[in-house]
Structure 1
Amino acid sequence: MKDYSYISHLECPKCGERYEENEIQQLCKCGSPLLVRYHLEKVKATVSREDISKRSNSLWRYHELLPIHNKENVITLGEGMTPLEKLPSLGAEYGLNNLYIKDEGVIPTGSFKTRGASVGVSKAKELGVKQLAMPTNGNAGAAWALYAAKAKIKATIVMPVDAPQITRKEVYVAGGDLYLINGLISDAGKVVGKLVQSHGVYDSSTLKEPYRIEGKKTMGYEIVEQFGWKVPDVILYPTGGGVGIIGIYKALLELQELGWIEKGKLPRLVAVQAEGCTPIVEAWKKGEKESNFFENSTTCAFGINVPKALGDFLVLEGIYATQGCALAISEEELLQAQKQVASLEGNFICPEGAATFAAVRILREQDWIQEDEHVVCLNTGLGLKYPETVEIEGVQTLQPGQDIFVNN
C-alpha cells in the first residue's frame, strides 16, 4: 500500500533532539513539546497545489503533510475546509474593507478542537494506543472523547467543574470516563499526570503528544488555499494553550518551503486573550520568550482560561517572527463583540472567537491594522455551546390573541 504520509521524524524545537515517529513519544527529555517534520522535498516533487484543490473538502486533503502512514487508520467525521467569509457590514463598522471570519463553529463537535482530535486520535490508533487521558476546559475533551469512541480507544477526560455543560454531555454520550475537578485546567492536568505515571495511559494533554498541532495547522493551509494561495495581512487567534497559533505559524513555514506561497512577508499573528487570563500578553509586552503562571485566572471565554501554556515559547516565537502582537480584551468588550457579529452578520460565535473581533476594533483604532489590509478572525467554536454568555432582556410576553404593537 502506498504511504499516505511523507512524515520524517519528530524534533525538539529547544534542543534539536530527534525522535522516531513510529513509536509512542510524549515530551522531549528536556521537557519541550516535540514537532513533526516531513520530507518536504518529496512532497514538493510529487504533489502540487492543483492536486490538492481536486480533493474532498476535509483536512485530510493535505494527507501527505499529516502524520498517518496508513489511510485505514484515519478517524474522520468529515472535518475541515470551514467557511472563510467576508464580513462587509462589520468591516464597515470597524473601518476595514477586507474583514473575514474563518468559522470553526460549523465543524463536527462544534469547535476547532475537532482538527486536533481527528489527527491526534488517528495517530494514537496507528501507534496501538488503547486508552488516552487529558485535562480540558471542555471542547478539546469533548472532541477527543467522540473521536476516541469511533477509534475504539478508551478516553478519560478531566475538566473543571464549571466547564460548559454541553461539553460534559459530549464526553458522557461518547462513553468517555468523565471527571470534574473543583479547580482550573492546570489542576486537572496534575490529576492526569498522576494517572499517566501510575497506569501508563497515553497522555493526550495539550502538546504532550506531538500530533494535535498537525490537525490545527490545517487551518493555516485552508486560509491560504481559500485566498487563492495568497496570505492575508493579519490573522487573529484566541489564545489559551496556543496550539492553533503555533499550528498556523508552522503551516505557513511549511508552505513557504514547498514554494506554495512566496517567501518573505508572513501574516502578522495576533494572540488574543481575556483580561482575566493574560500570561502571553504580559510576556509579549516585556519581550520575554516564556510566560509566567497567571494567578487566579477567570473569564467567560472558558477555552482561553489557561494560566500557563506548555508551548508558550512557541506562541511567542510566532508572534515575534511575524511582527505580530498580543492583546487583552475585557469581558464587556468580548460580549459586546459577540452580539455585534451576530446582529450585523448573522454569525453566533463563541466568546473566545468574539475576543478576536474586539481586538480587531481596537487595533484598527490604533492604526496597527490599515483600512485595506486583509484581516482574518478565527472563530474557534459554535456560540450555541455557550448559551450562558447571552442575557435576554426586554422581551415581551404575549397572551393568546394579543396583537403586537408596531411603533412607526
Structure 2
Amino acid sequence: MKYSYVTHLICAKCKSEYSIKEKYQLCTCGSPLLVEYDWEALKKVLHPEDLAARESTLWRYHEMLPVERSENVVSQGEGMTPLLAMPSLGRHMNIKQLYMKDEGLIPTGTFKARGAAVGVSKAKELGVEEFAMPTNGNAGAAWALYGAKAGITATIVMPQDAPKITRNETAMSGANLYLVNGLISDAGKIVKEAVEIFNLYDASTLKEPYRIEGKKTMGLEIAEQMGWTMPDVILYPTGGGVGLIGIYKALKELKKLGWVSGKLPRLVAVQSSGCAPIVKAWEEKKTESQFWEKSDTIAFGINVPKAIGDFLVLDAIYGTNGCAVAIDDDVMLSEQQNLARMEGSFICPEGAAVFAAIRKLRQEDWIKENETVVALNTGAGIKYPDTVEVDVEVLEKDSSLKRI
C-alpha cells in the first residue's frame, strides 16, 4: 500500500490546483493552499481497525498526510496525546461529559510540534535547505528543533517579549534567531522581506500548505479516542487559527471516508478580549476580520492581530453552527487555577481561556448539561513560568510548620 494518498494542492478561494512535487507557498490570488487526497482510493484500502496495531504517533495516519516517502519523516514521537475526563471541573460547571485534549505532553511542550513534524518533513522531501518564519514563540521553537533534526537551517523572528523559554529553545537549536520590538505582525513583515531577498522557504502560518496537515491530526485523534463518534462541541484557543481549521478539515475528511457520521461538532474559536479579531468578525457576521489595533494579552500564543486564514476560521465556525468567544485575562488566570486545584492539570493560559469560555457558554445555556464537550489545551503551563504569581511563605531553617 502507498505511504500517502496525497494528490495535489488546491487554493482555498479560487480553487486553482498545484502540484505537491514542487515548492508552493500561496496561490497566485494570494490565498492559502490546502492539501487534497484520493479519498475514493483510500476508502478501499484503509479502515479504522487497521490503525490498532500502529505506533501511537500522528504518523499512524500517514495515508492522510502529505509526506510521500517514509524516509522523509522527521519525528520526535509526537501525537496521540491523552483525552482526559475532567469530572471535578465538569461538576463545577454542570457539564456531565467534559474532556481535555492535553497537548502539553507533546514534544516541545505545545501542539506546535504537530505542524512542525509534518511541515518540516515535507520541506525535507521538497529539498528545502533553509526556511524562515515569524512566531510568538512556541511555533518557532518547534520548527527550529525539528529543522535541526532534519538538517534544515531555520531563521526565526519573534517579539522580544516572547516567553524566555521559547527563545532559549530556538537559540539552542542553532537557528538564526532575531527578536523584534513589536508584535508577530511586525515579525511577519521582516520575514516577508527576508524571504524575497534571500529566496528562503516561507514557513509562516498558512504560507506553506503542510503545517495544517499536522494540526488536523488533533481532530483525527479525538475521533479515534472517542470510538469514531463525535463530541457535540470542540473549543480551541485561536490566534492564527490553523488548529481550528485543521480540526474542521480532519472531521470533514473522516466523513468522506465514512468513518464518522452525523452532525459535525460545533466549533468554538476562543480569543482574549485584548486581541479578538475573529470574535468581532463573527459577532458582525463577516467572513473576514480586521486588524486588531494595540493587541495585548497574557495568552501570548493567541496574540495575533490579523490571521491570513481568518476566512477559513470563520468558515469552520459558520459551517458547524459554532461561535467565537472573548475572555478577559483575569478570568483566564482564575480558570487556570481552577484546573490545577480541581483536576491537577497545570495548563497554559490559552488552554485556560478555553475552559473559561466553556463556563461562560454553559452559563448562557449555549452548551447543554448532557452534551459532550472537548477542550483543547494547547500547551504545558510550565512553558509560561512568568505568567503565574503565587504567595509562598518562606521559613527560617529552624522553623516548624504551623497548621491553621
TM above 0.5 = yes
Counterpart of 1:406? 403
Counterpart of 1:31? 30
Paired AA for residue 382 in structure 2: L
Of residues 273, 285, 289, the one that matches 2:271 is 273
CA displacement at 1:53 relative to structure 2: 2.2
Counterpart of 2:342? 344
Of residues 305, 308, 321, the one that matches 1:307 is 305
Query: Displaced runs of 4+ in structure 1, greater than 4 A?
Result: none
SS at match of 2:386: helix
Counterpart of 2:169? 170
Residues 287-313 of structure 1, C-alpha deviations (whole Å, 9 max, x = no match): 100000000001000000000000000
Report whether the alignment pairs 1:333 with 2:311: no
Residues 98-133 of structure 1, C-alpha deviations (whole Å, 9 max, x = no match): 110000000000000000000000000000000000
CA distance in 2, matches of 1:329, 1:399: 41
**For residues 141-290 of structure 1, what are the structure 2 equivalents within 5 Å?**
141-262=140-261, 264-290=262-288
Paired AA for residue 391 in structure 1: E
Of residues 339, 354, 357, the one that matches 1:356 is 354
Counterpart of 1:383? 381
Q: What fraction of aligned residue pairs are identical, expressed as a percent?
A: 63
Paired AA for residue 80 in structure 1: G
CA displacement at 1:169 relative to structure 2: 0.4
CA displacement at 1:401 relative to structure 2: 2.8
How many residue pairs align between the two structures?
Answer: 404
**For residues 119-130 of structure 1, what are the structure 2 equivalents within 5 Å?**
119-130=118-129
SS at match of 1:36: strand
Tell me how large the CA RMSD over aligned residues is: 0.6
CA displacement at 1:143 relative to structure 2: 0.1
Counterpart of 1:296? 294
CA distance in 1, matches of 2:389, 2:164: 17
Paired AA for residue 250 in structure 2: A
Counterpart of 2:363? 365
CA distance in 2, matches of 1:266, 1:54: 27
Residues 191-242 of structure 1, C-alpha deviations (whole Å, 9 max, x = no match): 0000110111000000000000000000000000000000000000000000
Paired AA for residue 110 in structure 2: S
SS at match of 1:10: strand
CA displacement at 1:403 relative to structure 2: 1.3
CA distance in 1, matches of 2:342, 2:15: 48
Task: Structure 1 unaligned segments of length 5 or more: list them.
Answer: none
SS at match of 2:374: strand
CA distance in 1, matches of 2:91, 2:371: 13
Paired AA for residue 402 in structure 1: S
SS at match of 1:163: coil
SS at match of 1:284: helix
CA distance in 2, matches of 1:279, 1:399: 50
CA distance in 2, matches of 1:119, 1:327: 29
Task: Structure 2 unaligned segments of length 5 or more: list them.
Answer: none
CA distance in 2, matches of 1:83, 1:92: 21
CA distance in 2, matches of 1:257, 1:38: 11
CA displacement at 1:84 relative to structure 2: 0.3
Counterpart of 1:17? 16
CA distance in 2, matches of 1:51, 1:235: 26
TM-score (norm 2): 0.99
CA displacement at 1:389 relative to structure 2: 1.2
SS at match of 2:236: strand
Paired AA for residue 397 in structure 1: V
Residues 54-89 of structure 1, C-alpha deviations (whole Å, 9 max, x = no match): 211000000000001110000000000001000000
Counterpart of 1:322? 320
SS at match of 2:131: strand
Paired AA for residue 211 in structure 1: Y
CA distance in 2, matches of 1:224, 1:388: 35
CA distance in 2, matches of 1:266, 1:3: 29
CA displacement at 1:13 relative to structure 2: 1.6
Paired AA for residue 401 in structure 2: I
CA distance in 2, matches of 1:41, 1:164: 45
CA distance in 2, matches of 1:35, 1:146: 25
Paired AA for residue 406 in structure 1: R
CA distance in 1, matches of 2:387, 2:190: 29
CA distance in 2, matches of 1:247, 1:396: 45
Residues 10-47 of structure 1, C-alpha deviations (whole Å, 9 max, x = no match): 00121010000110000000010000000011111101
Residues 370-392 of structure 1, C-alpha deviations (whole Å, 9 max, x = no match): 00111011000110000111111
CA displacement at 1:348 relative to structure 2: 0.4
